[in-house]
Amino acid sequence: MTAEFALDPQDSAPLYAQLYRDLRQRILEGDYAEGEAIPSETVLRDLHGITRSTVRHAVSLLVAEGLVRQIRGKGTIVTYTPINHSIWNFGGFTDFSRARNERPVTEVLSQEVQDGPNGPQLRLVRARGVATDDSPTFLNLDTSVLDLGRFPGLQEFSFDKLSLYQVLREHYGVAPVRSELTLSVALPSELTRQVFGELPDTPGFICASGEVFSSDDELVEHTSVIYSPALEMRVGTAWNGTQPGQDSKLRAV
């Protein structure tokens, strides 16, 4: 993998920064798996025709970022798990949990029809989690708003037992495939306390809100998802090109 990348002395970025950027991208994209050693200092030095100090500088940045750690006798080991589940899962929480051999649990907190700009809408609020023995651990607080003109009769389904996205796929022929989401902080409220319990040391919760679209770019759902602190999330960015942000990918678990 690394052999395909050549440092460019004409690049405005220093050589150590170029090497760091390449190694970092490969770690984030999973080319070097968690627990695997990246190429040794000697290999990187000889491969790129650079000094040991240049290699050490690049690796020190990876160490400082928590992507690798140096273990005597083993080398520089990746400590970052490449993300294989995006912050938004288009299969739905139910499908995702079952794929992980976990028993999904959903509690419908409210399911009501309200007036919308284009007619009646279904507003669905659910606590989503997994079951441990007989007690659920709720991980998400989901609010979904969908137009009933597009999905007539959707309010009649029991979403404490059914997956919303499965219903959209099987009964309406609509598969959500793209989202435009904004990350923000949701302050504690009576609703978060009801779902996640009393968390006095938690000043706020990560919230992803926005719109979900089908493959035809049809608006499917307005959504807001508040994540429990019990759900570990790692977020990283990876890009192709010379400028951060090009072809950027937001990844999280």
* Length, in residues, of the chain: 253
Confidence band of 116 (pLDDT split at 50, 70, 90): very high
Q: Where do the domains of the chain lie?
A: 2-83, 93-227
The CATH class for the domain spanning 2-83 reads: mainly alpha
Count of C-beta atoms within a 10 Å radius of residue 95: 15
Its sign, for the CA torsion 19, 24, 26, 32, is positive
CATH topology of 2-83 equal to that of 93-227? no
Give 6-37 pLDDT, tens digit per residue: 888 888 888 998 998 899 888 877 888 889 99
Choice among 197-201, 220-224, 246-250 with the minimum mean pLDDT: 246-250
Confidence of residue 144 (pLDDT cuts 50, 70, 90): very high
CA separation for the pair 19, 94 (Å, rounded): 41
- Residue range 93-227, CATH number: 3.40.1410.10
**Whether this model's pTM surpasses 0.75:** no
> Distance between CA 159 and CA 229 in Å, rounded?
24
Q: What's the confidence (pLDDT) of residue 97? A: 55
Higher pLDDT, 250 or 170: 170
